[in-house]
Structures are given as C-alpha cells and as structure tokens.
C-alpha cells in the first residue's frame, strides 16, 4: 500500500522502490569510502543498477521521484523515498 499526498511520500515503498533506495544508500556509502579507501571503489555498477531500476518505474510514480532520478539527484531521491522530501533544497533547475 502506498500513501501519497502532494508534498509527502510515506515510506511504504514498493519492492522496486526499496531496491532503488538500497542502491542509493550503497552509492552514498561508496562515495564516502572514496575519501579513505585504497583502491577506490568502482561505483559504475551502482550507477548502472540505479538507472536500470529507475527505467522500470511505472508511470504512476510520483513526479518528484522521477525527476530526481532522471536528473541524477540521488540524495534527493533517497530523501524522498524516506519521506524526508521537505529536507530537499531548491535545485538549479528550479525544482526542489
């Protein structure tokens, strides 16, 4: 079950959204590891996975989430999926 309102997305996610969220968290962990890890982690498979999963989202997916994923605003997408969209800042495109 999904509960959606205009500016808020409840954290009851579909399996696909959960997989996207998991990949987004994995990406953030990999980026953080870039500062100290040697050799640096290869993040390309994670980017590819996120893109492949995003392409599977149905047309009923909230516009904000689709926008964040399309623009590769992955931190914003993660916050959205966690029901924390109000924490997102206005982007250079004029979209939150």
Helix (H), strand (E), coil (C) string for 9-36: ECCCCCHHHHHHHHHHHHHHHHHHHCCC
Helices and strands, counts by H and E, the chain = 4, 2
5-32 average pLDDT score: 82
CA–CA separation, 56 and 63 (whole Å): 14
> pLDDT digits over 55-76, tens only?
999 999 999 999 999 999 999 9
Report the distance separating Cα 88 and Cα 56, nearest Å.
24
Give the CA radius of gyration of the chain.
Answer: 14
Q: What is the pLDDT of residue 96?
A: 60
pTM above 0.95, yes or no: no
């Amino acid at each position: 079950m999904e509960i959606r309102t205009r500016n808020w997305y409840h954290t009851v996610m579909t399996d696909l959204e959960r997989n996207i969220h998991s990949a987004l968290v994995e990406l953030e962990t990999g980026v953080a590891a870039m500062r100290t890890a040697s050799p640096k982690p290869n993040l390309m498979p994670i980017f590819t996975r996120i893109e492949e999963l995003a392409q599977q989202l149905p047309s009923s997916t909230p516009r904000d989430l689709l926008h964040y994923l399309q623009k590769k605003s992955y931190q914003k997408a993660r916050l959205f999926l966690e029901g924390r969209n109000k924490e997102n800042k206005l982007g250079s495109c004029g979209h939150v």
